[in-house]
Chain A
Amino acid sequence: MTGRDLFIDALLSTLLPGDGDWPPALKTCVPIWFGERALAEPGLGGAVDWLRRSLPADFATRSPAERAGNLKACEAADSARFAYVVSEAFNGYYIDPAVLAVVERKTGFPARPPQPAGHRLEPFDASVLDGRKRPALS
């Protein structure tokens, strides 16, 4: 049996905590997504290893505010590598059905990919060009 990686859990819950209707990363597919990506992408795996080495040994048990402060220090030390980690967390978060459902409830943007449904739009109304058209070539 594979146990949860408490360090990764603490990292993700600090990067993407819940907020009102928005689920925390730990309640979405992000942990699985992130874990698989870290194994498949050496760059991400290396960045996570760098964070493990850079952060306090008790990072996972610290308060959210303390963890945020610790991560900000890492971000200041190597913004590009830190941004890569954040980007991958966002990638996992914004493909999660629960997250996209919140997006739809709040904005109307449908929680589905562009195809096959597309979007319904009113046809073009040529009256918006009244008074500004010149004749077309026949």
Chain B
Amino acid sequence: MADTDILVIGAGASGAAASWRLSEAGIRVICLEQGDWVKPEDIPIDRPDWEIARASWWSPNPNVRKLPADYPVNDTDTPIKPLMFNGVGGSTIMWSCFNPRFHPGDFRVRSIDGVAEDWPLTYDELAPHYDLSDRMMGVSGIAGDPSVPARSERPMPPLPIGPGTQTVIDAFDRLGWHWWPGDVARNSTRYGERPACNNCGACEMGCPSGAKGTADVAYWPKALRQGVELRTGARVFEITTDKAGRATGALYYDRDGAVQRVTAEAVIMASNGIGTPRLLLLSKSARHPDGLANSSGLVGKNLMHHPIAALSGIFDRPFDGGTGGAGASILSNEFYGTKRGHDFVRGYMLAGPRIHAPLATAQGVWGKPLPWGKGHHAEFERLFSRAGAMIICCEDLPHEANTVTIDPALKDSDGIPAPKLTYTVDDNSKRMIRHGLDRSKEIWEAAGAIETIERPLLAQAGFHLMGTARMGNDSKNSVVDRWGRAHDVPNLFIVDGSVFVTCGAVNPTPTIEALALRTADHIIRSRR
């Protein structure tokens, strides 16, 4: 008898959601997580040097952070650097908690625009799982956005809109462009056992109060009460298989460096769009000589990010006062999806405005490093608290040349080969970015900004890791089927962003969670 019914690799958003859902149905689950729990006191958000911590040892970039649980990523061949967190809750620990859903057309890109591929499922199929994810994470927002399908009321009312955001709203209205309060996984009111947010504005550092919806507080307490065994400090290096090629479990290093084995009737990969292809490629065997589930050759290919640009608007008066949450308080779908007359296909979401703290201002976050010497303080006063940033989140298209591969030399602290990213921003995205910067300039001018500063591509913005084990009906051009089951390995499932066929122009976490919950429901039905 196997140690467990289901083995889940990774305790982030997707692994947590799947573990909770499966255990709710009485299925035995063991989850392996290479990191640890993040305690409130671990989050350096109440220290005088919090801005330094955010840029160094508590950075979202594992190559900068270099905590014991992190593995290095060779990012020399990509302009977008990978961001993630390794621990219980995964990257939701450091996410900005913006929670928009895919649009229906995002699942039908091939049919609509003749590029990429269609998903083997529809928005309507996923909608109930989006709703469940919203309830679990706790989402503040308001239904009624005319640019997206009708949906149920959000679990909590929208978060406060600060004065800077109101300035931007007025500009959108003057231009006649769409805007709507963003769905945000942050509590505008008390939600269950979790308190209301106090608008500290540094969501990306983690949330010591639990007001932010992170997988460690939204799913894991319930999953553990239902009997899930969560093993932390467990760094998986191989998915094991039998002679027939079926998954049998995993081998991992425990926190003492000893090799451990866990056996399971089925395995769920939930290690994000880099970690999952890394493990699949490392799990070679006679039946799977090119890596597990890789007969299509597509494991690790079609890596998608959302190329993100920003346009800073500078005012000659106070803009926001440096208050309010991170992430986007409003979004605009005015340029979402393919539009007639554009010189690119698909589109982008506008979100914002973002504001920044003193040290980030000095270090050049608005797009222009502050000078040293005489004039430094005058420039600081000109920018700080008088600027906002409009974020342009572009839909990426899948390309097989954009990859996660195994680096031939780089290894993590346990000697496990590290991943390497190879990624190029394509011409379609470059044209999209140009369009987005130009439209953002119109917004800032309508808002009364006296100057704008372009940041055409944010390097430290690779949180969205998608496409590297994509979903499809045809085993020749996809890795998993419409339920997340590997075509080659019938008891292996993938539930993280790797399975994305296309990536929309929105933050992926709610879609990742919805897919994980849907796959879990499928497994539950299959076992009955």
**Chain B contacts of A123 at CB under 8 A?**
157, 160, 188
A2 on the B face (CB < 8 A): no
Is the Cβ of B158 less than 8 Å from the Cβ of A124?
Answer: yes
C-alpha gap A100/B153 in the complex (Å): 42
**Chain B contacts of A126 at CB under 8 A?**
142, 157-158
User: Given A121-B160, A121-B324, A124-B161, are A136 and B152 neighbors across the interface (CB < 8 Å)?
Assistant: yes
C-alpha gap A90/B370 in the complex (Å): 10
Query: In angstroms, how far is the closest chain B Cβ from the Cβ of A70?
Result: 11
Query: In angstroms, how far is the closest chain A Cβ from the Cβ of B354?
Result: 15
Contact with B372, one of A20, A86, A116 (Cβ below 8 angstroms): A86
Q: Mark B331-366, 1 if CB is under 8 A from A, else 0.
A: 000000000000000000000000001110011000
A53 on the B face (CB < 8 A): no
**Chain B contacts of A125 at CB under 8 A?**
161
B321 on the A face (CB < 8 A): yes
B378 on the A face (CB < 8 A): yes
Is the Cβ of B321 less than 8 Å from the Cβ of A108?
Answer: yes
Query: In angstroms, how far is the closest chain A Cβ from the Cβ of B263?
Result: 43
C-alpha gap A107/B323 in the complex (Å): 11
Total residues of chain B contacting the partner, CB 8 A: 58
A76 on the B face (CB < 8 A): no
Contact with B377, one of A20, A119, A132, A133 (Cβ below 8 angstroms): A20
Is the Cβ of B50 less than 8 Å from the Cβ of A114?
Answer: yes
Is the Cβ of B358 less than 8 Å from the Cβ of A129?
Answer: no
**Chain A contacts of B242 at CB under 8 A?**
none
User: Which of B22-30, B105-113, B199-207, B224-232 lines the interface with chain A?
Assistant: B199-207
Contact with A95, one of B49, B157, B160, B201 (Cβ below 8 angstroms): B49
Is the Cβ of A94 less than 8 Å from the Cβ of B51?
Answer: yes
Is the Cβ of B376 less than 8 Å from the Cβ of A16?
Answer: yes
A42 on the B face (CB < 8 A): no
Query: In angstroms, how far is the closest chain A Cβ from the Cβ of B19?
Result: 29
Dominant SS at the B interface?
loop
**Chain A contacts of B150 at CB under 8 A?**
134-137
Is the Cβ of A109 less than 8 Å from the Cβ of B142?
Answer: no
C-alpha gap A60/B83 in the complex (Å): 42
C-alpha gap A108/B271 in the complex (Å): 42
Is the Cβ of B144 less than 8 Å from the Cβ of A115?
Answer: no
User: Given A90-B359, A137-B152, are A118 and B160 neighbors across the interface (CB < 8 Å)?
Assistant: no
Query: In angstroms, how far is the closest chain B Cβ from the Cβ of A120?
Result: 7
Contact with A19, one of B47, B153, B377 (Cβ below 8 angstroms): B377
Contact with A94, one of B158, B197, B359, B378 (Cβ below 8 angstroms): B359
**Chain A contacts of B384 at CB under 8 A?**
103, 107, 109
A8 on the B face (CB < 8 A): no
Is the Cβ of A134 less than 8 Å from the Cβ of B374?
Answer: no
Is the Cβ of B48 less than 8 Å from the Cβ of A113?
Answer: yes
C-alpha gap A44/B389 in the complex (Å): 31
C-alpha gap A132/B172 in the complex (Å): 13
A63 on the B face (CB < 8 A): no
C-alpha gap A103/B381 in the complex (Å): 9
C-alpha gap A93/B362 in the complex (Å): 10
List which B285-314 residues lie within 8 A (CB) of chain A: none
Query: In angstroms, how far is the closest chain A Cβ from the Cβ of B492?
Result: 35
Is the Cβ of A89 less than 8 Å from the Cβ of B372?
Answer: yes
Query: Which A residue's beta carbon lies closest to that of B152?
Result: A137
**Chain A contacts of B2 at CB under 8 A?**
none
Contact with B188, one of A107, A120, A124, A134 (Cβ below 8 angstroms): A124
- Chain A interface residues (CB < 8 Å from chain B): 14-17, 19-20, 22, 64, 68, 71, 83, 86-87, 89-91, 93-95, 97, 99-100, 103, 106-109, 113-126, 128-129, 132-138
- A-B pairs with beta carbons under 8 Å apart, 29 shown: A16-B372, A19-B376, A71-B373, A90-B370, A91-B359, A94-B51, A107-B318, A107-B322, A107-B381, A109-B321, A109-B385, A113-B46, A114-B202, A115-B198, A118-B201, A119-B200, A120-B323, A124-B161, A125-B161, A126-B157, A126-B158, A128-B161, A128-B166, A128-B169, A132-B144, A132-B146, A134-B145, A136-B144, A137-B152
